[in-house]
Amino acid sequence: MKKGRLIKGIGGFYYVYVDGLTYECKARGIFRKRKITPCIGDYVEIEVIDEDKKLGVIEEILDRKNEMIRPAVSNIDQAIIVFSIVRPDINTMLLDRFTVLAESKDLEIVICINKADLIDNDTSIEEIKKIYSNTGYRIISTSTKVESELEDILKLLDNKTSVFAGPSGVGKSSILKILTNRELETGDISRKTGRGKHTTRHAELIRINDEGWVVDTPGFSNLDLNEIDEKELSEFFPEFNEYAEDCRFISCIHVNEPDCAVKDAIEKGKISISRYENYKLFLKEIKESRRY
Angstrom CA distances, 271 to 69, 85, 180, 268, 285, stand at: 32, 22, 37, 8, 21
Residue 170 in contact with ligand GDP, rule: CB under 6 A: yes
Contact with ligand GDP (CB under 6 A) among 168, 221, 274, 289 = 168
Residue number, 182 or 284, with CB nearest to Zn ion:
284
Contact with ligand GDP (CB under 6 A) among 75, 144, 161, 217 = 144
Q: What angle do CA 77, 82, 88 make, to 5 degrees?
A: 160
Residue number, 221 or 274, with CB nearest to ligand GDP:
221
Residue 283 in contact with Zn ion, rule: CB under 5 A: no
Largest CA distance in the chain: 69
Q: Give the phi and the psi of residue 163 in degrees, each rounded to 5.
A: -125, 140
Residue 118 in contact with ligand GDP, rule: CB under 6 A: yes
Residue number, 39 or 266, with CB nearest to Zn ion:
266
Residue 263 in contact with ligand GDP, rule: CB under 6 A: no
Query: DSSP 3-state assignment of 53?
Result: coil
Contact with ligand GDP (CB under 6 A) among 5, 8, 172, 263 = 172
Handedness of CA 41, 108, 148, 85 (dihedral sign): positive
Residue 7 in contact with Zn ion, rule: CB under 5 A: no
Q: Which stretch binds ligand GDP (CB under 6 A): 31-39, 66-74, 164-172, 206-214?
A: 164-172
Q: Contact at 8 Å (CB) between 115 and 199?
A: no
C-alpha 120/C-alpha 58 separation (Å) is: 53
# chain residues binding ligand GDP, by CB under 6 A: 16
Which positions from 115 through 174 interact with Zn ion, judged by CB under 5 A?
none
Q: What angle do CA 235, 241, 247 make, to 5 degrees?
A: 110
- Least distance CB 264 / Zn ion (angstroms): 8
Site for ligand GDP, rule CB under 6 A: 114-115, 117-118, 143-145, 168-174, 186, 188
